[in-house]
Amino acid sequence: MLTPEQTETIKNQLIEKVASIFPEDKQDFAIDQIKSMNSEELEDFLKKNDIALQQGTQKCIFCSIVSGDLPSYKIEENANAIAVLEINPVSKGHTLIIPKKHIHSIDNVPKSIQKFSEKISKKLKLKLNSKKVDLIFSELMGHQIINVIPVYENENINSEKSKASEEELKSLIETLSKKETKKTPPKKLTITKEKTPEKLWIPKRIP
């Protein structure tokens, strides 16, 4: 059983979370629902929605992306990390490699994730025709990530970020998820002339 204090704290956490979970027009309704729950109903609600209780700490944004609580534009995924498009990129195709575990320091980023980053960087270079691709570690809320930045001119991690439109991001996902199609040499065209029967000119019969 939750104590009244716990119930209150959790309700407040949920209400904060509502903004990121529910569409705007349903937020008020959801908030009212949460406020009206008693502690039993609240516990039930948490169980049904598989929401883990976080005591006091704000959930890390990257962990939320990994768990799917926050929407993202995913390029690829393996057992240890996911690659998603940065929605405020410094260059076209700017990608974030997010370790699935909340890893604090560069030293703890496993080799497999570095390899995964290199794979993604090759893919970006090939598909987007950038001059090169830089891999840069950065960290937010204590979660270590790797920026994969295609460089077309001289963009870098400190370049100005600009919000990418949904269309841009979707078309990038499409470009990047296209399978490599092997170029098959065009088939030799053999031109065969169809023999047309010679037309016979028949003189009109003169009666």
Q: Which stretch binds Zn ion (CB under 5 A): 28-36, 76-84, 138-146, 153-161?
A: 138-146
Q: Residue 83 or residue 172: which is nearer to Zn ion going by CB?
A: 83
Closest distance between Zn ion and the C-beta of residue 120, in Å?
A: 19
Q: Which is nearer to Zn ion, 61 or 87 (CB)?
A: 61
Residues 54-73 that bind Zn ion (CB under 5 A): 60, 62-63
Tokens coding 6: 């716990």
If the CB atoms of residues 62 and 116 are measured against Zn ion, the closer one turns out to be 62
Considering the complex, what minimum distance in angstroms separates the CB of residue 33 from Zn ion? Answer: 28
d(CA 19, CA 111): 36
Identified binder of Zn ion from the candidate list 143, 147, 148, 172, rule CB under 5 A: 143
Q: Calculate the alpha carbon distances from 71 to 20, 53, 154, 186 in Å.
A: 9, 21, 30, 42
**Residues contacting 160, CB < 8 A, separation 6+:** 90
Residues 74 and 76: their CA atoms lie apart, in Å, by 6
Q: Name residues whose C-beta falls within 8 Å of residue 12's C-beta, 6 or more positions apart in sequence.
A: none
Q: Does 116 bind Zn ion (CB under 5 A)?
A: no
**Binding piece for Zn ion, criterion CB under 5 A, among 39-47, 85-93, 100-108, 154-162:** 100-108
- Half-sphere exposure of 89 toward its Cβ, with a 13 Å CA cutoff? 22
Asked if 102 is part of the footprint of Zn ion (rule: CB under 5 A), the reply reads yes
Binding stretches for Zn ion (CB under 5 A): 60, 62-63, 102, 143
